[in-house]
Amino acid sequence: MKIFIPFFLLFATLSVHAAELPGIPAFIDEMVARHQFKRAELVRVFRRAEQRPDVIEAISKPATLKPWPEYRANFVNRERIEGGLKFWQKNGAALTRAQRE
């Protein structure tokens, strides 16, 4: 179900009831048949969808490309290093097993 969350969020930005848009009833049918979603719940979600121009604008902009040194501080810092070390210590056996397989 997690893979469908971005799809639902995308449709939550529409101005008309998404449940009434072309293709949505077929999508709901497929989600019910293939993934055992509840039809009433999907219809309710799509009916509550509303337009969010700020979201459309944000996801429409191309990603800005910055050189690694400008991004590095966001990703390589003490907190992340310590978190990675804790993860490794906690999951070391599983990581080793996954590497072998």
In the chain, where the domains are located: 2-60, 68-100
Q: What pLDDT score was predicted for residue 80? A: 95
d(CA 9, CA 46) in angstroms, rounded, equals: 10
DSSP codes, 5-74: HHHHHHHTT-SS-GGGSTTHHHHHHHHHHHH---HHHHHHHHHT----HHHHHHHHSPPPP--HHHHHHH
Q: What is the pLDDT of residues 66-76, one digit of tens each?
A: 888 888 888 89
Q: What pLDDT score was predicted for residue 77? A: 93
Q: Average pLDDT of 31-56?
A: 90
pLDDT band (50, 70, 90) for residue 14? very low
Q: What is the pLDDT of residues 16-40, one digit of tens each?
A: 566 677 888 999 999 999 999 999 9
